Structure 1
Amino acid sequence: MKLVYRVTPKQRLIIVEHALKQMQAFAQHRSGDREAGGVLLGRHLLDSRDVVVDEVSTPQSSDRRSRYGFFRSSKHELLARQRWLEENSTSAYLGLWHTHPEPDPTPSGVDLRDWQKAVAGDTYEGDRLFFPIVGTDCIRIWTLSRRGTYRELKLENKNAKI
């Protein structure tokens, strides 16, 4: 199973099952669960404009996690760089993901500032980064471009079960 989101009329974001399961494993279903997160890793397909998330980094011991907060440590950047080297420069940094302890997640002001900082300061291919938030009932994804265009992506395969 994979999730497919429409980015533009000619571009899709595809999250493969492995990456989806990695994120869902940290959904905050119980009251003691802490927020979790990491980076999205994948590729820009050469024969189309589609972007594929193949895997994600998962919480590291150096992260700061609480019920309503997550601070991603620099270890995630090191993991992304290591994967890029191992994959002969074909594994790309695509964005940031994290969890929220709510059924239908929405970004906080802290999230929006974090995303703006990533788009302005991080090194990445393409003109945008992606920002999934994993809730207890669904995953919602936003994108922010270098030009400052911000919007939520719509799930293309609406019958997909997560």
Structure 2
Amino acid sequence: MPGVSGGMTAVRRRVLVRPDVIRFLDAEAGSCAGRPEAGGTLLGSRRGPDLEILGWTVPGPGDDRRPHAFTRADPRHQAAATAAWNASGGTVAFVGEWHTHPAGGVAPSAVDLRTWKRLTKANGRPMAFALVAPGEWGVFLARPGLPRPVVRRSRPIEHSGLGVVFA
């Protein structure tokens, strides 16, 4: 029986990316070529084992943007996450990050993977990450694991007016 091993059913985690977020990621994919890397946080809700991406932050003046690296350091990212948390009564929070690869390729670098695993381990919950390259973007889901978090690329499985579901 698919998904069953030793009497336990595997949980297939999903990420719903809302239409506004899709439009933002599409716009970044259309304009990131030849620019320094950019990035920010992903804001959303946890729904059981699933994540819903509702918003994002954009680079601020305190962030470090280079041709092949982005370091999120501007306090505006935390301020936006705190504001979203307060406005939602504690249901919308920091659930991941996005950044661009202007030189192309929606494949995480070794630095990306280390960073995502560190964030996921520190958070202790599944996290979503989006990579944006010229003309494309992709979603990755990281989940806590032993001895270290596991990161996998998610694929779109459903499109609707509510957004795109990745699994």
For Structure 1 versus Structure 2, the TM-score category normalised by the shorter chain is 0.7 to 0.9
Counterpart Cα distance in 2 of 1:137 and 1:31? 9
- Specify the code of the residue in structure 1 equivalent to 2:29: A
Q: SS of the counterpart of 2:45?
A: strand
Counterpart Cα distance in 2 of 1:78 and 1:94? 14
CA contact (8 A) 1:64 1:72 kept: yes
CA contact (8 A) 1:102 1:135 kept: yes
Please say which structure displays the higher CA radius of gyration: 2
CA contact (8 A) 2:44 2:94 kept: yes
Check 1:107–1:44 CA distance in 2 against 1; reply closer, same or farther (3 A cut). same
**1:142 matched residue in structure 2:** 140
CA contact (8 A) 2:37 2:70 kept: yes
CA contact (8 A) 1:105 1:135 kept: yes
Query: Is 1:84 matched up with 2:82?
Result: no
Counterpart Cα distance in 2 of 1:69 and 1:10? 32
- Specify the code of the residue in structure 1 equivalent to 2:139: I
Q: Shift of the alpha carbon at 1:13? A: 0.8
Q: Where in structure 2 are the equivalents of 1:43-58 lying within 5 Å? A: 43-45=45-47, 49-58=49-58
Counterpart Cα distance in 1 of 2:12 and 2:115? 27
- Specify the code of the residue in structure 2 equivalent to 1:35: E
Work out the percentage of aligned pairs sharing the same amino acid: 26
**1:132 matched residue in structure 2:** 130
Q: CA RMSD for the aligned pairs?
A: 2.6
Normalised to the residue count of structure 2, the TM-score between the two structures is: 0.76
Check 1:74–1:117 CA distance in 2 against 1; reply closer, same or farther (3 A cut). farther
**2:153 matched residue in structure 1:** 152
**Aligned match for 1:19, one of 21, 26, 36:** 21
Q: Where in structure 2 are the equivalents of 1:65-84 lying within 5 Å? A: 65-75=65-75, 76-84=77-85
Check 1:73–1:80 CA distance in 2 against 1; reply closer, same or farther (3 A cut). same
Q: Unaligned 5+ residue runs, structure 2?
A: 1-9
Q: Shift of the alpha carbon at 1:30? A: 6.0
Q: In the comparison of the two structures, how many residue pairs are matched?
A: 148
- Specify the code of the residue in structure 1 equivalent to 2:15: L
CA contact (8 A) 2:25 2:137 kept: no
Normalised to the residue count of structure 1, the TM-score between the two structures is: 0.78
Q: Shift of the alpha carbon at 1:128? A: 0.8
Counterpart Cα distance in 2 of 1:16 and 1:31? 24
Check 1:49–1:111 CA distance in 2 against 1; reply closer, same or farther (3 A cut). closer
Q: Unaligned 5+ residue runs, structure 1?
A: 1-7
Question: Relative to structure 2, which stretch is displaced further, 30-39 or 107-116?
Answer: 30-39
